[in-house]
Structure 1
Amino acid sequence: MPVTATLRLWGEPDGSQFGWVMGNERFAELFLRPGEYRIIRDGHRIRITDIDGTPRLVDDGDRAVVMTGGDPLDATEHLSVTMSATWLRSPGRLLRELDQLFPSGPVEDVVHDGHDCLRIPGLPARHLEASPATPRITVDAGTGVLLAVDNGDGGGELVDASSPDAVPADTFIWEGDRFGTPRRPDPWRPTGVVEEPQEEPVAEPVAPAWSERTLSADEVRRSGEQVDEAAGPVELPGYGRAWRHPDGGFIVLDESEDDERRVLVYRPGYVADGAGTGDVRWVEEVTSREPMFVYVVAGRIFSMCDGTLTLRDADLEVVRRYREPASRFWLSVVGPWFGAFEYRPMTDEDEWWEEDNAPGTYRLFDPESDGAELDVVLEVPVASSEVTARWVDGELWLSEGGGARVFRASDSPLSRSAGRPDRL
């Protein structure tokens, strides 16, 4: 159904667009900041302009062009649009997530811009940059047209919306004679890539490094007996799996299945009673097509599902989200770090996926990382996936094939198993 309207945006971006591309790709970006625009949609075709008619995005279904700073860019190859209500630009994105996110509660009858509408609450988005607040969408009760989105930190709405019988085809054709001939974007470069070598390179400060030492005969004997303190789940009567909360209580998960949407539904909960017999304080519901995992590392609480690692505060509320650092089958807590094995990249001819004991790399990740990904603080090539990692008196012990290797961060006074070196 064709739709024409004024598009109003406010607040922060909804975090749904990351622009995941490789180096040297030609990548067109468009930022629709808070304000008013005109929008015309007809299926996959779309035109967004400033109020004065200057085009910002024109897409006829085969070719997309964006205007950024007065410079028209051909966005057919790769397009990233950042805005506070992406679903209003592309309702198809909402359709792909509808059965996983909506509704999460009672639906309200509301009036929006003179239209009888349904206001529907949803589950918090799992985008890395999204607000943890409950999102809400407003849908025209008669036509089903999406008219408003509230993502917690921002949102958008369509006002003065109408549905013409047809839209002239040239509406979605870029007018090169008026607004310039689109050029191909410059190749995208990863952050920090330097195009030309510096004439006088500046020496960077040397970061603390990890050193490997040789085990004594007594340590070799003890390496086969050493056991880490349990960091994984424990059995708690009435709850099944539970994790020890840093304050002495327990973290529990309520797990159920939504057969209609074919997803798992999880509710993290907190039991303050150290015996596990007290009342549970439940937090957000999370839907997932994969099991949810909980980790407690260096006094910090994390949950992970659907490719996203979520840092939570002591009340289990969302603090920030990271990209999954490793497969849930490998990720574990190793002292004050996350640790994980990863297969070494090979060619298709090697068929490593058929070998359970293929070589790879063991990595430690910093749970206090500031970016969208956890920082890697140590990488060790290993001969097999059957490697065992232990944290012993401030050192990493990697055991494989009957032997053990020991690593310590240099210039870092680690004397306890709970200690940690400075940020590497």
Structure 2
Amino acid sequence: MAEQGKPRVVLGVGAGIASYKVCELLRRLTESGHSVRVVPTADALRFVGEPTWAALSGQPVATSVWEGVADVPHVRIGQQADLVFVAPATADLLARAAHGLADDLLTNTLLTARCPVVFAPAMHTEMWEHPATRANVATLRERGNIVVEPASGRLTGKDTGPGRLPDAAELFEVALRALAGAPRDLAGRRVVVSAGGTREPIDPVRFIGNRSSGIQGYALAKVAAARGAEVVLVAANTALPDPAGVRVERVGSALEMREAVLKAAASADAVVMAAAVADFRPVTSATSKIKKKDADDVPRIELVQNPDILAELVGRRAPGQVIAGFAAETDDVLAHGRAKLARKGCDLLVVNQVGEDLTFGAPDNAGVVLSASGREREIPRGTKEALASVVWDEITSLLT
């Protein structure tokens, strides 16, 4: 039985090897104060058995509509839920949900639920990319369901590619956003976000870089995905897990970032350049480690300017495309920000102050959103996801 006052989550489990990862998601949900009822398919119990789900959730586990008939579970479970979260959502389960089949307790629950419904697919790449699966995903999204893009990585056997179930920590964040009622105002939109800091090689072991951790860019990508966008995250030298529902492209240098961002931006509705791109790079990079010969032997490094990716995006922008940039400043923050906005020609520029214990690597951030129209919106210090939400509010208002 659900505990009084606790948010009620139905955790649907499909018959995939990734179901073992869902045990961690269940643990996170229960330990954070949610009442969780696990509803697996019959074949899902071949991977993780009923005793495991019952012990972790503290609630009975059933797969058939014929169990506990007096309580009408095939109707009540969905009716009473605050969230239905299906993971892993196999190709078969997505197909049955899209076509409205009701041949077990989980699919009946999906039909009776009137709360947010999230599907976290996991399957081999060929199955995920098959036109039938893509059509089923499109159908589910058109009906208002949240279908998380799978991660790329190692699958069963030696296979790798898109189709991997995102990590439990990322799925947990998706569940919390769905329960909080995150707006879906970016549904059907394609967005590109850059994150991290580029590194310009001096030799195979040394580079010119910066302190950016990528946390703010990742927060922008997560919030956009939660609001329904199809997100490409171009990440430079980060050590963060891939956000659930986001396609991540990893780069190292400014030139690599330029190539990846321009390619992704060609079909995007909005681009947010949150990465700290190095302004300069060495003219040449040594092919082997530069050796120190004596105390007076100090090599001179000649630098050249890197391309201005933000300005180039503005010059290439498609009609209706919104482009936002970030400006990290140490002093005269607003003056430098206003000058940069005018120079770059982007729609929005988020200006924040950086320095020791400020912004880089920190969990919180503050800033001012400068608009090409002259409007300025201050964002008080808070989580980086809170700042990301304000940025997407501003971008959405321009898109609509």
Which TM-score band (shorter chain)?
under 0.3
Counting helix residues as a fraction of each chain, which structure ranks higher? 2
Q: Radius of gyration: which is bigger? A: 1
Counting strand residues as a fraction of each chain, which structure ranks higher? 1
